[in-house]
Amino acid sequence: MARPINPEGTWTVTANKKRRLKQSFRLADGQTVRKSFTATTKDACRDLRDEWMLANGLDPVRPTAPARSMPTLDQWIVEVRRTDDLNNLEAATVSAAASLYRNHLKSQLGNRLIDTITATDVVELQIHLKAKGMSASTVRAVHVQLAKALNLAVRRGHLTRNVAADVAKPAPAQRSPQPFSQTELLAVWNVVIRHRDSARWAAQLMTGGRQSECLGLAWGDFNLEENRLIIKRSLKRVQWLHGCDPKEQDQHTPAQCPHKTKASQFGKTKSAAGVRAIWLPDQLVEVLRDWRVDWERAAKRGIFDTSILSEHGGLVFPSSTTGGARDHRADARQWQAILHEAEVLHRGTHSSRHTVATQLLTEGIDPRIVQEALGWSDGSQLPRYQHVTTSLTKKAGKAIENQWDQIIGRDADVLPIRRAGTTDD
């Protein structure tokens, strides 16, 4: 009678992507036989093995996997965070995910075993969040976090399917760009040139950079002689990290953790496409040259902390109050104060990016160049500027029309075209 030596065997994949099970058996006469079974799936391989074992006098009994204790969502989220740490996710990403779970998921599904969560529970979670007044983007982000956790459970063998995948994610809110008009830009500019941080806001208006990219600029990123800037980093919002055991992290926020640590403030741009070269307008170069003189004077007096990004020439736009890196919220408040003084509709700093994109497209710049200049990963943002691209398409059509006017004119003897074989009525 044949007896398997290693009940599970070993698995390999063949050159044509089939599964191969290799397993050793000890026959009744004491001989050891090593067999291989090849098929398209693992289950098919096991079926072939079972047939062989029956032919050799052994009733195949597949070993049962050891019973696993099913974790609750609270317990499983600890494993998700450990996986995030192994994947070296940005501190801001991890912190945002932890906040979403603590504020929206924990109270609803935290004590549920993950295999008892159903698609109906996911739908009811979305309804609950909308009833609380959460935005579509927040509801979508919570759904993504839950789906991510359950997907990891599927990959680890705890679940057979991800029920969150059966529920549609809320569509993200589509917001039309709100670029400044030329009249509004002039009003804002007249306030900016009198502001103590005029260079900071001139750079925001003329480069199209994100707020975090402008705040992370160092003098070494500029070549004012060639009107060139290379954006290569961003200043992240202040992020506190947990220093306690992962099992205790749901009991308090990172900022309240007794063993908290501060994450690095400077990091990568939003995407790989964010690292880019920008040509600077002469007006901005002049403002930056004047600012460099004032910056060096302030640095000598100890007003600015020159140790920040010192290896890159120093931080270009430090806080005028603390001398260190600017706080994103304080920076945004300063921007709103400028708009208020200019008597312009209040918008975020991102409106300057919309304005630069609109200006470039209006000037007929190739959309692919616009995409590169603004650091977009793909062209999915362009449809938001359809009002601009439509007018450019009409302008292009008029240009072709003018060319044909020069070739064939608009003479009635030329138009309309008469097809061969036709006669006038």
In a domain, 385, yes or no: no
Into how many domains does the chain fold?
Answer: 3
Is the whole model's pTM more than 0.75, yes or no?
no
Strands (E), 283-347: none
Choosing from 316, 333, 355, the residue where a domain stops is: 355
Choosing from 337, 355, 373, the residue where a domain stops is: 355
CA geometry: angle at 163 spanning 159 and 166, to 5°? 145
In Å, how far from its chain's centre is CA 86?
19
At 4, is the pLDDT very low, low, confident or very high (cuts 50, 70, 90)? Answer: low
Tokens representing 372? Answer: 């590169």
Choosing from 13, 28, 55, the residue where a domain stops is: 55
Burial class of residue 293 in the structure, from the number of CB atoms within 10 Å of its CB (0-12 exposed, 13-18 middle, 19+ buried): exposed
112 and 206 both lie in a single domain: no
> Distance of CA 9 to CAs 4, 51, 126, 141, Å?
9, 16, 45, 42
CB burial of 354-388 (b: ≥16 within 10 Å; e: otherwise) equals bbbbbbbbeeeeebeebbebbbbeeeebbeebeeb
CB-CB contact of 325 with 235 (8 Å): yes
In a domain, 253, yes or no: no
218 and 330 both lie in a single domain: yes
291 and 351 both lie in a single domain: yes
189 and 215 both lie in a single domain: yes
316 and 351 both lie in a single domain: yes
The predicted pLDDT at position 267 comes to 84
CB-CB contact of 314 with 306 (8 Å): yes
219 and 285 both lie in a single domain: yes
134 and 279 both lie in a single domain: no
In a domain, 419, yes or no: no
Share of the chain above pLDDT 70, in %: 84
In a domain, 258, yes or no: no
CB-CB contact of 349 with 332 (8 Å): yes
pLDDT tens digits, 218-269: 999 999 999 999 999 999 887 777 777 766 776 677 777 877 776 668 888 8
Average pLDDT of the residues in 393-415: 66
Give the structural domain span for 112.
73-166
Ramachandran assignment for 343, one of left (phi > 0), alpha (psi -120 to 50 degrees), beta (any other):
left
CB-CB contact of 344 with 180 (8 Å): yes
CB-CB contact of 224 with 289 (8 Å): yes
- Omega before 416 cis (within 30°)? yes
pLDDT tens digits, 334-346: 999 999 999 999 9
In angstroms, rounded to a whole number, what is the distance separating the alpha carbons of residues 106 and 121? 13
310 and 193 both lie in a single domain: yes
126 and 222 both lie in a single domain: no
pLDDT(417) > 50: no
CATH of the domain at 210: 1.10.443.10
The predicted pLDDT at position 263 comes to 64
The predicted pLDDT at position 171 comes to 80
154 and 303 both lie in a single domain: no
pLDDT tens digits, 288-337: 999 999 999 999 999 999 999 999 999 999 998 888 899 999 999 999 99
CB burial of 253-264 (b: ≥16 within 10 Å; e: otherwise) equals bbeebeebeebe
In angstroms, rounded to a whole number, what is the distance separating the alpha carbons of residues 280 and 266? 23
The predicted pLDDT at position 65 comes to 46
At 160, is the pLDDT very low, low, confident or very high (cuts 50, 70, 90)? Answer: confident
In a domain, 264, yes or no: no
In a domain, 372, yes or no: no
221 and 87 both lie in a single domain: no
348 and 200 both lie in a single domain: yes
